[in-house]
Amino acid sequence: MRSAYHEQLQALTSQLGEMCGLAGKAMECATQALLQADLVLAEQVISDHDQIATMSARAEEAAFVLLALQAPVAGDLRAVVSSIQIVADVDRMGALALHVAKIARRRHPQHALPEEVNGYFAEMGRVAVELGNAAQEALESRDPDKAARIQEEDDAMDDLHRHLFTVLMDRDWKHGVTAAVDVTLLSRFYERFADHAVEVARRVIFQVTGVYPTEEVVPTPR
């Protein structure tokens, strides 16, 4: 039984990792759609979202079946419980990419973003992909040191988020309130995406070490 259990848990972990990678790619495409006012790409992200949602439901069910049929204990139980919690985070990462794509679609054929902030969002998109990949790697390697390094990318995202707010609050902001509202929401979506990736890494660290990492890996709320 233990061996079947570990195989199934491994399959579940791989699936969660794959979802993290997909969420990162969805955010990358959503970012492109946003920067280029690309409606086709925005629609693509929106229709692809079903895939992540379906994978979430399946992963949740797989975790449930593992609990029901294998009744794991101790560390093994901890691992399945973490998986259930991780599903919710990854699912949310996918939803945030969807939100970005929807703003791109809503503003089409206009650009949602004033050109002045394109650079920030290009960079946020790049960091989001790295976060998706780092969360996937943390899940698959179960290496707490690797998992802890996700903090660097989260710090980068927080810096971008903070800088963007400085740009917004500047008296010289010339792009009106609608653009300011879009930039505020979009920036928040990327920041939350990063927070969820960090949360996945924290859960991995907890699975492996039995304790949650302290402050430095706690997401910074704005």
Cβ atoms within 10 Å, residue 142: 15
Establish if 211 lies at the interface with a copy of itself (CB under 8 A): no
Cβ atoms within 10 Å, residue 70: 18
Residue closest to 181 by CA, chosen among 87, 85, 107: 107
> Contact at 8 Å (CB) between 22 and 139?
no
> How many angstroms separate the first and last alpha carbons of the chain?
46
Nearer to a copy of itself, 57 or 152 (CB): 57
Q: Rounded CA gap, 135 and 200, in Å?
A: 6
Establish if 111 lies at the interface with a copy of itself (CB under 8 A): no
Question: Residue from 25, 43, 58, 81 that binds a copy of itself (CB under 8 A)?
Answer: 81
Report, in Å, the least distance between residue 26 CB and a copy of itself. 14
Question: Residue from 39, 67, 122, 156 that binds a copy of itself (CB under 8 A)?
Answer: 67
For the window 153-192, what string marks contact with a copy of itself as x by the rule CB under 8 A? ------------x--xx---x---xx-xx--xx--x----
Establish if 40 lies at the interface with a copy of itself (CB under 8 A): no
